[in-house]
């Protein structure tokens, strides 16, 4: 029996990379909800969409098609926006700065949640984001909440951006995380919260493989329990 796994938490805690690794190990489908909102933000930026204009936002959403394709050579899933590979572009800082205000728009969230719930209807899905356990998959068999200190998150992201040739200071990245945390936890639509039945994992001092193993152990335990019910 397959289950759905919801992983929520703050930006830069390793949610997506952990979810991807666990999905591969369980042979589950991984859905990067954060990438979906980043893709919407990129489209809005490219087309100069006024976030306060409901008509413009609605029209833009009707023109957006997001999907994920597995890159065999790189052994990873990549994000496509209207048929174009935008995996690298959506990770850049200018897009990161727009993600929270874009994802706070109700019409945007409604459109993305509808797509996400359809993807998870058949179970066997791992999805990470801000409101997966609270809104998208409130009945998920396993819910996890990941967190980490500002400095730990900023240091990791700094290295990632440096490898991509983008030079941003750790202080600037940490400030971006604090700003996004505030927007994510205080927004009116689907704020970031730790639901009562979520298991918290602090990744500040964890090696990547350790956090993957923790989630994998929890998943296998839950799968075993569900199969014995």
The pLDDT of residue 226 is 84
pLDDT at 224: 92
Residue 32 within any structural domain of the chain: yes
CB 28 within 8 A of CB 5: yes
Q: Is residue 137 situated within a structural domain?
A: yes
Report the CATH number at residue 164: 3.40.50.300
Q: What pLDDT, on a 0 to 100 scale, did the predictor assign at position 8?
A: 95
Q: Is residue 229 part of a domain?
A: no
- Tell me which residue of 19, 58, 35 sits closest to 143, measured CA to CA: 19
Domain contains 228: no
Predicted TM-score (pTM) of the model is 0.77
Q: Is residue 104 part of a domain?
A: yes
Q: Please determine, for residue 154, whether its predicted confidence score (pLDDT) is greater than 90.
A: yes
Q: Tens digits of per-residue pLDDT, 65-118?
A: 998 887 878 877 789 999 999 999 999 999 999 998 999 899 999 999 988 898
The parent domain of residue 71 ranges over 4-221
Residues 36-67 have pLDDT tens digits of 999 999 999 999 999 999 999 999 999 999 98
Highest-pLDDT range among 30-34, 62-66, 161-165: 62-66
Q: Tell me, yes or no, whether 29 lies in a domain.
A: yes
* CA separation for the pair 94, 89 (Å, rounded): 9
229: pLDDT confidence band, cut at 50, 70 and 90? low
Q: Mean of the per-residue pLDDT values for the chain?
A: 92
The predicted pLDDT at position 155 comes to 94
**Total structural domains within the chain:** 1
131 lies in a domain? Answer: yes
CB within 8 Å of 77: residues ≥ 6 apart: 20, 30, 32, 68, 69, 70, 71
């Amino acid at each position: 029996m397959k289950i759905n796994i919801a992983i929520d938490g703050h930006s830069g805690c390793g949610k997506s990379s952990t979810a991807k690794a666990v999905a591969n190990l369980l042979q589950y489908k991984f859905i990067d909800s954060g990438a979906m909102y980043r893709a919407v933000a990129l489209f809005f930026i490219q087309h100069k969409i006024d976030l306060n204009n409901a008509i413009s936002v609605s029209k833009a959403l009707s023109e957006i098609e997001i999907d994920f394709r597995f890159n065999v050579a790189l052994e990873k899933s990549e994000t496509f926006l209207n048929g174009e590979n935008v995996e690298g572009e959506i990770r850049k800082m200018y897009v990161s700065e727009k993600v929270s205000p874009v994802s706070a728009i109700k019409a945007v969230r409604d459109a993305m949640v509808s797509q996400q719930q359809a993807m998870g209807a058949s179970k066997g899905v791992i999805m990470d984001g801000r409101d997966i356990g609270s809104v998208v998959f409130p009945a998920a068999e396993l819910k996890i909440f990941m967190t980490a200190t500002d400095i730990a998150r900023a240091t990791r992201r700094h290295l990632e951006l440096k490898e991509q040739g983008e030079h941003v200071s750790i202080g600037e990245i940490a400030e971006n995380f604090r700003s996004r945390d505030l927007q994510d936890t205080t927004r009116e639509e689907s704020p970031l919260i730790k639901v009562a039945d979520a298991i918290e994992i602090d990744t500040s001092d964890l090696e990547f493989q350790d956090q993957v193993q923790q989630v994998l152990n929890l998943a296998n335990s839950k799968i075993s329990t569900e199969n014995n019910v």
